[in-house]
Amino acid sequence: MFGLFRVELQARSTYRAQIVLGALGWVVPLAFMALWRGAAADNPVDGIDQAQFTTYFGVLLALSNLSLTGNVVFAMSSRIHNGQLSVMLMRPMPPTVVPVLESAATNVFRLPVVIVAVPLIVILGGGVVRGGVSVWVTAVVVAVLGAVAVAYVATIVATVAFWLTKADGVMGLVVGLEWVLGGMVAPVVLLPQPLPTVLVHQPFWFAQGAPAQMLAGIGDVSAFGTIAEAAVWVVGLHLLLRVVWRRALRRYEAVGT
């Protein structure tokens, strides 16, 4: 798998203009950061102050730049749709890992933004990271498990293309869900009940909102409980993908060859 990742990295280094444009990254969290900082200018919003919003959306900026969802869902569904999946199916490796590694390779070129620009934005915006090393470690573990779970969700949704010839709307829906369910529009604790209670038990939140809340000191996020729950999601989604994929391949028509 590392070999394939290395090759994808080599392929992506071919086009310099794309690297530069890609490195500018995904800036939507900055807009929401400005919005919520403004709302908390005079008084904290439900106990969340400007510094916490800065940190929260700064972490989201980093995580959304490293998200795999969009690439996975669109790359996989288009390959199913145009028959290019056939080439992958002929190789002795799971075809589902290819879009994930492609996305990861693309994200490598966004690392400069994540490593340099995000801390700068957080510091200039007066953000403060709460907690010590253990919080950092927990946040990273939860984010990784969440990202893996979301990659599974994206792949499962992409398999809709086996049944529907034109499924772009469904694919776009996943990206939209990531915004809302992941906490990019607002920290889920600010949403009306019962949403905060429900939304903290799904993969999109583990991938983005949970680590951001942990580092910003928003709400009471249980480290062990969150990690355990995210791990259960990963295992469950893995098993679900195996079943769905097997059924989906029976529908594959390998068009265009």
- Using CB under 8 A, which of 30, 34, 84, 141 touches other proteins? 84
- Using CB under 8 A, which of 21, 24, 87, 235 touches other proteins? 87
Part in contact with other proteins (CB under 8 A); list of ranges 113-121, 204-212, 223-231, 245-253: 245-253
Residues 152, 73: Cα–Cα separation, whole Å: 10
| Cα dihedral: 69, 229, 138, 134 (round 10) | 170
| Residue 27 binds other proteins (CB under 8 A) | no
Residues 78, 84: Cα–Cα separation, whole Å: 8
Tokens of 14: 């071919």
Q: How far is CA 11 from CA 26, 82, 103, in A?
A: 21, 21, 12
- Using CB under 8 A, which of 23, 30, 83, 191 touches other proteins? 83
| Residue 11 binds other proteins (CB under 8 A) | yes
| Residue 14 binds other proteins (CB under 8 A) | yes
| Residue 15 binds other proteins (CB under 8 A) | yes
- Using CB under 8 A, which of 20, 93, 115, 137 touches other proteins? 93
- Using CB under 8 A, which of 21, 27, 89, 164 touches other proteins? 89
- Using CB under 8 A, which of 90, 166, 192, 224 touches other proteins? 90
Pick between residue 3 and residue 132 the one whose CB is nearest to other proteins.
3
Q: Residue 52, class by beta-carbon neighbours within 10 Å (0-12 exposed, 13-18 middle, 19+ buried)?
A: buried
DSSP assignment string, 163-223: H-S--HHHHHHHHHHHHHHHTSSS-GGGSPTTHHHHHTTSHHIIIIIHHHHHHHT-S---H
| Residues contributing to the site for other proteins (CB under 8 A) | 3-4, 7, 10-12, 14-15, 83-84, 86-87, 89-93, 249-250, 252-254, 256-257
